Amino acid sequence: MKRLLIVIIVLTLGWSAYWFVGATRAKSGFEDWLAARQAEGWLAETSDIAVRGFPNRFDATFSDVALADPGTGVAWEAPFFQLFALSYRPNHLIAIWPHEQVLAFPDQRVTVKSEDMKASLIVAGAPSLPLERSNLAVDALALVSEAGWSLSAETLRLAMHKDPESEATYRMALSATGFAPPAEIAARSGAALPRTLKTVEADLSATFARPWDITALEDSRPQPTALDLHMAQLTWGRLDLHAAGQVDIDPSGYPQGEITLRATNWREIIALARQGEELPAALIDGIEQGLQLLSAMAGNPKTLDIPLNFRGGLTRIGPVPIGPAPRLILR
């Protein structure tokens, strides 16, 4: 019995030493990271870093956090931010955000509110902490911009899993319930649209120029080089859009390839675009004429399969250019 007691005491002391050494190193690592960002010209501040959770967890709480990247002009402020990890599985992290935080961009500030925002991240053991899997869950999300717009969602779910057979390809899935876009979009359309969308879903694989790891925050965001859109669906009242297709993305961010849209009640979608005033009337007229031609050829006045071709920085419906292609650059 005496020997067993000695073994228990030794193991307890050893585990306690492991935890305290790990907690000290974690806090020191966080402080060093903030100091390195400051040396690069960032605003990188926190009023306190506390590491608790003995004996089985490393729970780090950052108080009064402020980060600002001078390269992009993007900043983030939060009253606190938390990272939790089991002491015997330090590569599996749980991130917790506060109920209110602020994102600032060069042209506006956006207040982000939520009842619950958390993410699970599993990273590999390499020093750069490459991402293996991530799941983000947000409840009662609301974004309010100083520019005058707002949007909300009852729930938002985003999953991102690395393809084990590729160095930098990730499978992503997005879904949202109760998503309410800025109210002025529906108001300007003149259409009888409900406040919230019935369906917002997407399933895709994205390949990037390099893996997502800690350098995505420290240096620059990995840029996409290819997208395989397995499925996307957006349903808003009687408006229904499905999309699928594949594109490569050139170094300038322009897609090359084809995405096929299946649009139900497409004339209402045109009316929504026309009332929105973001696109020139002449461009919308051209798109509408082209879709009317496709509708006549298909013999279906309500539902259309629309092939969007991206080539040379332009978007085409079939061979007909309708406008510039979107530029896919992560800032």
Q: What is the CA radius of gyration of the chain?
A: 24
Per-domain residue ranges for the chain? 1-106
The 3-state secondary structure of the chain, one letter per residue: CHHHHHHHHHHHHHHHHHHHHHHHHHHHHHHHHHHHHHHCCCEEECCEEEEECCCCEEEEEEEEEEEEECCCCEEEEEEEEEEEEECCEEEEEEEECCCEEEEEECCEEEEEECCEEEEEEEECCCCCCCEEEEEEEEEEEEEEECCCCEEEEEEEEEEEEECCCCCCEEEEEEEEECEECCHHHHHHHCCCCCCCECEEEEEEEEEECCCCCCHHHHCCCCCEEEEEEEEEEEEECCEEEEEEEEEEECCCCCEEEEEEEEEECHHHHHHHHHHHCCCCHHHHHHHHHHHHHHHHHHCCCCEEEEEEEEECCEEEECCEEEEECCCCCCC
Block means of pLDDT (10 residues each) for the chain, length 331 residues? 55 56 81 92 94 86 95 93 87 95 95 98 88 97 94 97 95 96 69 83 97 89 96 89 95 94 78 64 70 67 82 84 86 79
Q: Are 277 and 286 in contact (CB under 8 A)?
A: no
Give the C-alpha separation, 236 to 197, whole Å.
5
Residue 275's pLDDT is what? 63
Does the pTM surpass 0.75? The reply is: yes
Residue 265's pLDDT is what? 76
Give one word for 77, left, alpha or beta, with left for phi > 0 and alpha for psi -120 to 50.
beta
Residues 6+ apart with CB under 8 A from 282: none
Q: How would you classify the pairing of strands 108-113 and 116-123?
A: unpaired
62: β partners: 49, 81
